[in-house]
């Protein structure tokens, strides 16, 4: 390895460390400032709560044996809606790509459905499917499926036409063309789809829990709002932030590994 390469790697590593330190500094400063303003009555601690009150609320939920039940309920719903959403979005993307007239027929309906505020049909989902986990997952799928499908399909369509023609010239089958050309060229679109799918699954599950659930983090938030316990509301929000980071991290690692290769 040359000196210039070593210098570049050191600079890159130093830059990553500096960025990480600034990220930690921003988070710590925000928490400290929030606690300080709340404890010194500069902001209303009843309305805005404080980090110490949120920790105390989470600990109380733990002592009451409530936190894990709500946590596992939300995690299960997110994983199911995320997995089903990704499988179906891949299926529909392939269908639209290889049978393009189908996409052209459904394109205006996809656009209309994507523009429709899903919370508007929440009461209908509740009536049709009942106040249960099924309704929550369906709500999440309505939110994540269309956007994920469009993202993956767009990635497929951006495959180099010259390379497609080259594969066709060598009589490569559609399966081989997909595995060795279309799929590798669409990795970043699929990663983007996973990110979107994850965030939309979170939104859909929490919206569903707001409407029908008696368990889950969304239920804790809506219950805290109803009884005006804002410590509980913000505790739920903080838990969701931590959960989203935990779920997002494997996708981020996967993206970095793909970019390296």
Q: Is the pLDDT of residue 261 over 70?
A: no
Of the chain, the end-to-end C-alpha distance in Å amounts to 19
Neighbours of 31 (CB within 10 A): 14
Q: Is the pLDDT of residue 198 over 90?
A: yes
CA–CA separation, 200 and 140 (whole Å): 7
The pLDDT score that the predictor gives to residue 66 is 79
Q: Is the pLDDT of residue 9 over 70?
A: no
Please report which residue ranges of 64-186 form alpha helices under DSSP H: 67-98, 100-115, 122-129, 133-157, 161-169, 174-177, 183-185
CA–CA separation, 130 and 137 (whole Å): 12
Determine contact, residues 159/100, Cβ cutoff 8 Å: no
pLDDT over 70 for what percent of the chain?
A: 96
CA contacts within 13 A on the Cβ side of 86: 17
Determine contact, residues 122/211, Cβ cutoff 8 Å: yes
Query: Higher-confidence residue: 259 or 251?
Result: 251
Model pLDDT for residues 28-67, shown as the tens digit of each residue: 999 999 999 999 889 888 888 899 999 999 999 888 877 8
Exposure class string for 243-257: b at 16+ Cβ within 10 A, else e? beeebeeeeeeebee
pLDDT classification of 259: cutoffs 50, 70, 90: confident
Q: Is the pLDDT of residue 87 over 90?
A: yes
The pLDDT score that the predictor gives to residue 47 is 86
The pLDDT score that the predictor gives to residue 140 is 92
Determine contact, residues 94/151, Cβ cutoff 8 Å: no
Q: Is the pLDDT of residue 8 over 90?
A: no
Model pLDDT for residues 10-19, shown as the tens digit of each residue: 777 788 888 8
Measured in whole angstroms, the distance separating CA 146 from the mean position of its chain's CA atoms is: 14
Chain mean pLDDT for the chain: 89
The pLDDT score that the predictor gives to residue 246 is 93
The pLDDT score that the predictor gives to residue 190 is 92
Least trusted range by pLDDT, from 210-214, 215-219, 226-230? 210-214
Q: Is the pLDDT of residue 258 over 70?
A: yes
The sign of the torsion formed by the CA atoms of 81, 92, 195, 114 equals: negative
For the chain, what's the residue count? 261
Model pLDDT for residues 139-155, shown as the tens digit of each residue: 999 899 999 999 999 99
Averaged pLDDT for residues 197-222: 90
CATH class assigned to 50-260: mainly alpha
CA–CA separation, 90 and 193 (whole Å): 10
Measured in whole angstroms, the distance separating CA 198 from the mean position of its chain's CA atoms is: 2
Model pLDDT for residues 102-113, shown as the tens digit of each residue: 999 998 988 888
Neighbours of 198 (CB within 10 A): 22
The pLDDT score that the predictor gives to residue 131 is 80
pLDDT classification of 6: cutoffs 50, 70, 90: low
Token couple for 221: 């938030």
| Residue appearing with tokens 């219950």 | 223
């Amino acid at each position: 390895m040359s000196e210039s390469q070593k210098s570049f790697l050191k600079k890159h590593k130093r830059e990553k460390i500096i960025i990480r330190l600034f990220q930690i500094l921003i988070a710590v400063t925000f928490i400290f400032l929030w606690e300080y303003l709340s404890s010194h009555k500069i902001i209303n601690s009843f309305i805005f709560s404080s980090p110490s009150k949120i920790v105390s609320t989470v600990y109380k939920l733990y002592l009451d044996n409530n936190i894990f039940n709500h946590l596992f309920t939300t995690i299960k719903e997110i994983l199911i809606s995320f997995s089903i959403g990704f499988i179906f979005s891949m299926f529909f993307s392939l269908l639209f790509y290889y049978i393009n007239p189908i996409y052209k027929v459904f394109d205006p309906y996809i656009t209309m459905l994507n523009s429709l505020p899903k919370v508007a049909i929440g009461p209908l989902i509740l009536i049709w499917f009942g106040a249960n986990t099924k309704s929550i997952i369906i709500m999440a799928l309505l939110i994540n499926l269309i956007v994920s499908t469009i993202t993956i399909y767009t990635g497929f369509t951006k495959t180099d036409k010259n390379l497609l023609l080259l594969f066709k010239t060598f009589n490569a089958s559609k399966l081989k063309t997909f595995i060795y050309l279309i799929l590798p060229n669409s990795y970043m679109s699929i990663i983007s789809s996973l990110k979107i799918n994850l965030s939309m699954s979170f939104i859909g599950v929490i919206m569903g829990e707001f409407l029908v659930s008696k368990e889950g983090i969304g239920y804790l938030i809506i219950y805290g709002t109803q009884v005006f316990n804002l410590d509980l509301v913000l505790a739920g929000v903080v838990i969701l932030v931590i959960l989203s980071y935990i779920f997002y991290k494997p996708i981020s690692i996967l993206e970095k590994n793909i970019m390296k290769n």
